[in-house]
Every structure is written in C-alpha cells, then in structure tokens.
C-alpha cells in the first residue's frame, strides 16, 4: 500500500483465541496507533472536515455484556512521535 501500486487489503478474523479470563490492558503496554488519509497521487494528508471524519471506538465484552465506547483522539505532535 505504501507504494500505491496494486494495493491488496486483507483481513483475518480468528474467534475465541483468548480465554475470557485473560485481560490485556493496552495502557499498561503503552499501546498506540497512528493513521491518516492521503491523496493517491499527491501523498498529502487529507484532513478537510467536509470530506473526512474520524470515528475511533473500542468495543468488547465485559462480564458477558457487550459494550462500545468512543475514544478521544488528536493529531500527532512531535512529542507523540518521540
């Protein structure tokens, strides 16, 4: 995808890999994700709110009850990359 030549996006879903008793706290491992939308030819970031809307959410199941929560996000700063 980085070369923008014949991109192929795949996904693989493997259910019931983890036991419900296993807990993974993403804050403890300092897990972070960064992404953007770029123009195909210009490779410039597209961040015009008229055309691009970001929705960041987490969902899962806790004590047998499903939940979904919207997460706060921000444009990366130089300190984020450090």
In order of 9, 18, 67, 78, the CA distances from 71 in angstroms are 25, 23, 13, 21
Read off the pTM.
0.49
Terminal-residue alpha carbon distance, the chain: 25
**What is the per-residue pLDDT across 12-68, written as a single tens digit (0 to 9) for each?**
888 877 777 888 888 898 888 888 888 888 988 888 888 888 888 988 888 889 999
Q: Biggest alpha carbon distance in the chain?
A: 47
Confidence of residue 81 (pLDDT cuts 50, 70, 90): confident
Among the listed residues 21, 32, 27, the one whose alpha carbon sits nearest the alpha carbon of residue 63: 21
């Amino acid at each position: 995808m980085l070369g923008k030549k014949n991109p192929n996006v795949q996904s693989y879903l493997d259910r019931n890999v983890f036991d419900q008793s296993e807990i993974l706290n993403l804050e403890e491992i300092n897990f972070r994700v960064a992404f953007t939308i770029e123009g195909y030819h210009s490779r410039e970031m597209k961040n015009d709110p008229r055309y691009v809307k970001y929705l960041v959410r987490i969902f899962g199941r806790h004590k047998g009850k499903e939940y979904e929560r919207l997460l706060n996000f921000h444009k990366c700063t130089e300190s984020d990359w450090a």
